[in-house]
Structure 1
Amino acid sequence: MAELAALEDPKVRAVNEKHGDEHGVNLTTLRALAKRLKTQQDLARELWQTGDSAARLLALLICRPKAFARDELDTMLRGARTPKVHDWLVNYVVKKSSHAEELRLAWLADPDPVVASAGWALTTERVVKKPEGLDLSGLLDVIEAEMKDAPDRLQWAMNHCLAQIGIEHPEYRTRAMEIGERLEVLKDYPTSPGCTSPFAPAWIAEMVRRQHG
């Protein structure tokens, strides 16, 4: 904890706080520290218990993803207060867990939009890597009905899923683009030159163009 406190940089914290993340440790420095510590599940659990965002990010880098029980991951997700901790927990730990599918289904149906956004992130992973058994048409129905009015984090996760369905599954591409056009979610999102817009129709068109470049 003392070492993490010494790595704190007020400039990094100021940038992170704009995104809702309450820590000031440069992530490259954090990754270097994790590399030195290597995998230490007990230490990871202790770091997580501190509730400190930088400590939790470090915990997620040095933990053993398959060592967590299903309920433990569920509790961790509900307690992950900041976007970065939430994203790393889903991407670095839950996706590698044998409980990922069970949690995906439970979280998708959760009334808490931040928890539901994790369910959508896991669904997007399956859309890309293991779509067998997914009802893609049904997912598009839900996105069409609920994305427009969903809170930010949930809306972003649904939109990502919409774009990946359109990119990865040509038979649903036209419908995915039409939903995006009609709902206009993230249509005016400020995008830097050279970056792909998160507006689903533009995103789908650009990725398909690259695939067939």
Structure 2
Amino acid sequence: MLNRNVRKRTTAGLAMTAAAVLLVSGCASGGATPTDIDAVAAKWADGEFALSALTRDEKIAEMKWFAEAASALGVTDISVVSETIDPHVYESEVLTQAFKELTGITVTHDLIGEGDVIERIQTEIKTRTSIYDGYINDSDLIGTHQRGDYIYPVAELMKDSAITNPGLDIEDYIGKSFTTGSDGVLYQLPDQQFANLYWFRYDWFSDPDIQKQFKDIYGYD
């Protein structure tokens, strides 16, 4: 969720809301220079981002794209917030550092309780004042976002090819349907999902004696 009516800050804020793929970026004069972008990208490609579905050359090319795309926006800092769970801790501690080294943008990523995230979103909606540039929030709020007039859907931002990662494959995202409104608009990028496991007594559904007992008690199979 992004709420400031300043497009260049919005595009920068959105960049840090996706854990695996940064969508778009802003810039700052303190970013990597053309002579050391290659070195910075190579450091991350061979280090923290070594385990990837992308080849080394693809990783370096993508990181260089962020650095180059940042040069047009003139942003020095952005602030985002999420609840405190492991994927978001990784974003706040690792991805923000990679992003800063590539673009010069300082990202303040606050980690708070889930209820506090919702409360701050509601505060912004009611007061029309900005607390953060971007939110990483549950897709349960998709209906609220769709009915409101306070966010930029990522689908709108991605219409601008100058600020959209050319390697971004939206169809490869798991859970895209949960962040798409009933109007067909993609409002958020899926960031992480919980794996839900359900346990049951298999013998209740396979043991003839138990099945007979059930039918005797309840009158149906």
Which structure has the larger Rg? 2
Bin the TM-score by the shorter chain. under 0.3
Indicate the structure with greater helix content.
1
TM-score (norm 1): 0.27
Which one scores higher on RCO, CA 8 angstroms, separation ≥ 6?
2
Indicate the structure with greater strand content.
2
TM-score (norm 2): 0.27
